[in-house]
């Protein structure tokens, strides 16, 4: 199982309840297909660097999860089907990115161990 990070930009016209339901929907897709959520970080409403579908803002969500590699295709199908999703991006995290994310969350014990020569 590998670690991944998913960033989703939802349409800004979602109500707070719809935004929370969308978060839960994609977290459930990951859990139901053999993955586990490591960290969930809803950013809320942010400005976009450029307009997407004539919208200048979007509701952002960042999920860090561990999953088998075949889950990503199932997740991408669900993301493409959802009309509330403007853009998404899935990144595979290496050990340095995992340690950085853990330190950023405040878990200072996640420092990478030095390699002895």
SS3 sequence of the chain: CEEEEEEEEECCCCCHHHHHHHHHHHHHHHHHCCCEEEEEEEEEEEEEEEEECCEEEEEEEEEEEEECCCHHHHHHHHHHHCCCEEEEEEEEECHHHHHHHHHHHCCHHHCCCCCCC
* Average pLDDT score over residue span 17-24: 91
| Res 113 pLDDT > 70 | no
pLDDT of residue 111: 53
* Average pLDDT score over residue span 85-108: 86
Per-residue pLDDT reduced to its tens digit, 28-82: 999 998 889 988 988 989 999 999 999 999 999 999 999 888 888 989 999 999 9
Banded model confidence at residue 117, pLDDT cuts 50, 70, 90: very low
- The structural domains of the chain, ordered by start, are 2-109 (3.30.70.60)
């Amino acid at each position: 199982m590998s670690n991944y990070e998913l960033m989703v930009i939802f349409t800004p016209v979602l109500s707070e309840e719809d935004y929370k339901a969308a978060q839960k929907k994609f977290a459930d897709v990951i859990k139901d297909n053999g993955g586990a959520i490591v960290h969930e970080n809803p950013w809320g409403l942010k400005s976009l660097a450029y307009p997407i579908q004539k919208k200048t803002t979007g509701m952002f969500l960042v999920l860090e999860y561990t999953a088998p590699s075949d889950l990503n295709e199932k997740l991408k199908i669900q993301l493409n089907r959802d009309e509330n999703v403007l853009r998404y991006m899935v990144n595979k995290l290496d050990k340095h990115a995992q340690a950085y994310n853990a330190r950023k969350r405040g878990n200072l014990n996640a420092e990478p161990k030095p390699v002895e020569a």
